[in-house]
Amino acid sequence: MRAIVTVVGRDRVGIIAEVSALLSRSGVNILDITQTVLQDYFTMAMLVDTSGCPKPFAELADELDARASEMGVSIRIQREDIFDAMHKI
């Protein structure tokens, strides 16, 4: 399943590294990354493939959530379909 991971938080060293490490440990493959800094806020979107991840989607989302609070950022993972539905005909 393809999903979008969005990370938003105050910019600091190592955000991409930490999120990528967590995804890698879960068997999630990163297909594309884009990022920007908007008014000091680090904003990143990753297109990922979760088909190699043995955990249920909800569990992966919970883990990202838990890690997000430790890191002081917000991390969401959502199926790619929702963005396609909203923005593509």
Partner 1 sequence: MLNINEILETNEMINRQHLDIRTVTMGISLRDCAGEDAVRVAGKIYDKVTKKAENLVKIGGEIEREFGIPIVNKRVSVTPISLVAESCDTEDYTIFAEALDRAAHEIGVNFVGGFTALVHKGFTVGDTRLIRSIPRALAETERVCASVNVATTRAGINMDAVRLMGEIIKESAELTAATGGFACAKLVVFANAVEDNPFMAGAFHGVGEPECVINVGVSGPGVVKVALEAAKGQPFDVVADTIKKTAFRVTRMGQLVAREASLRLGVPFGIVDLSLAPTPAAGDSVADILEEMGLTSVGAHGTTAALALLNDAVKKGGVMASSHVGGLSGAFIPVSEDAGMIRAVQSGVLTIEKLEAMTCVCSVGLDMIAVPGDTPASTLSAIIADEAAIGVVNNKTTAVRVIPAPGRVVGDIVDLGGLLGTAPVMPVSGGGSADFIARGGRIPAPLHSLRN
How would you list the strands of the sheet with 41-49, edge to edge? 29-38, 41-49, 2-10, 73-79
Of 10-29, binders to partner 1 (CB under 8 A) are none
Tokens 């396609």 sit on residue: 84
Compare residues 32 and 70 and give the one whose CB is closer to partner 1: 32
Query: What are residue 11's DSSP bridge partners?
Result: none
| Of the candidate residues 9, 20, 26, 33, the single one contacting partner 1 (CB under 8 A) | 33
Residue 68 interacts with partner 1 (CB under 8 A)?
Answer: no
State the Cα angle at 63 between 57 and 69, rounded to 5°.
Answer: 135
In sequence order, what are the residues at sequence separation of 6 or more whose Cβ sits closer than 8 angstroms to the Cβ of residue 13?
Answer: none
Report if residue 37 touches partner 1, rule: CB under 8 A: no
Task: Check residue 40 for interaction with partner 1 (CB under 8 A).
Answer: no
- Interface positions with partner 1 (CB under 8 A): 4, 6, 32-36, 43, 45-47, 57-58, 61, 76-79, 81-83, 85-87
